[in-house]
């Protein structure tokens, strides 16, 4: 009797390689596998890094990045694609051209600019090209607070400012925008949900991710996981969002499920060497 192969949606990540295994291509592929989609990849950069430092970045030749995408698209029907660390203008242009050429649907742009250790992951002179050549092709862009401030052009000190930034970025680049709230220390206090303070201390704050989509603001809230190790959370979030879009979920639901996935990954962190890493 002939076995019937399980049909999985195919997703593509175009990003940098993290030698430490916690972010970039490595985190994306782990996330894709955990969410039961078939992950493919095009490596845009190679980094020498671990959870505490990026020692060196080496850019892949744009033609080689494009050829990786070509080979994936010639063999598979790609349901969704995400971009992560692209680093330089020639790579961004090559990726944007391939997205258009192969008409890859459901582009999620994670505008990776700086690591959690404050290492530069996008050349400053490449921000404009990222915005106008790639973000304008996306169904959604997923900046963290620092990246959103660069795209917005203003500080984002509050939830209200995050709403304004999500709207401005989305409308300016003709896409949807999720401003991730993990770095917003003002947060949302759990007493707003009816949980009282104990022994005079503030209740645990929540993370609020703000989505602006089709003229409306959507907000997604989850408890903040108290941890000092957040390496790879942005990559994992955008990879999960890409996987859920590939499975046919509407954007707001995909954002909600991506937030839950990262929350659970942080909550179930495991000890590896000297570090706590997310549990996939």
Q: Which residues are catalytic?
A: 180, 230, 232-235
Residue that has been written with the tokens 């907000």 in this structure: 219
Task: Give the up-direction half-sphere exposure of residue 274: CA atoms within 13 A in the CB hemisphere.
Answer: 4
Residue with tokens 């169904």: 139
Residue 90 corresponds to which tokens in the numbers above? 């020639």
Joined tokens for residue 258: 């991506």
- The answer to whether the CB of 221 falls within 8 A of the CB of 208 is yes
Q: Can you spell out the DSSP letters for the chain? A: -PPPPPP--EEEEEEEEETTSSSHHHHHHHHHHHTT-EEEEEEEEEEEEETTEEEEEEEPPHHHHHHHHHHHHHHS-EEEEEE---BSHHHHHHHHHHHHHTT--SEEE----B-TT--B-B-GGGHHHIIIIIGGG-SEE---HHHHHHHHTS---SHHHHHHHHHHHHHHHTSEEEE--TT-TT-EEGGGGTPPPBTTBPPPEEEEEEEEETTEEEEEEEEPP--S--TTHHHHHHHHHHHHHHTT--HHHHHHHHHHHHHHHHHT-EEETTEEE---
Do residues 145 and 183 touch, judged by C-beta distance below 8 A? yes
């Amino acid at each position: 009797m002939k076995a019937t192969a399980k049909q999985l949606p195919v997703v593509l990540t175009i990003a940098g390689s993290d030698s430490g295994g916690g972010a970039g291509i490595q985190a994306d592929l782990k996330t894709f596998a955990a969410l039961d989609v078939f992950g493919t990849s095009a490596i845009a950069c190679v980094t020498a890094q671990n959870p505490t430092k990026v020692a060196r970045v080496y850019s892949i030749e744009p033609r080689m990045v494009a050829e990786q995408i070509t080979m994936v698209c010639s063999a598979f029907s790609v349901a969704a694609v995400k971009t992560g660390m692209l680093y330089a203008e020639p790579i961004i242009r090559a990726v944007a051209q391939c997205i258009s050429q192969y008409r890859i649907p459901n582009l999620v742009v994670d505008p990776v600019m700086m690591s959690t250790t404050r290492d530069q992951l996008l050349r400053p002179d490449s921000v404009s090209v990222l915005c106008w050549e790639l973000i304008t092709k996306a169904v959604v862009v997923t900046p963290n607070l620092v990246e959103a401030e660069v795209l917005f052009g203003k500080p984002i000190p509050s939830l209200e400012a995050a709403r304004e930034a999500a709207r401005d970025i989305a409308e300016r680049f003709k896409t949807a925008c999720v401003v991730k709230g993990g770095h917003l220390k003002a947060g949302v206090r759990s007493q707003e949900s009816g949980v009282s303070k104990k022994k005079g201390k503030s209740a645990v704050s929540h993370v609020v991710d703000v989505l602006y989509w089709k003229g409306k603001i959507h907000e997604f809230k989850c408890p903040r996981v108290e941890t000092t190790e957040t390496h790879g959370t942005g990559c994992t979030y955008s990879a999960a969002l890409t996987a859920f879009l590939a499975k046919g979920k509407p954007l707001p639901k995909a954002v909600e499920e991506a937030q839950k996935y990262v929350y659970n990954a942080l909550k179930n962190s495991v000890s590896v060497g000297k570090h706590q890493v997310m549990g996939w």
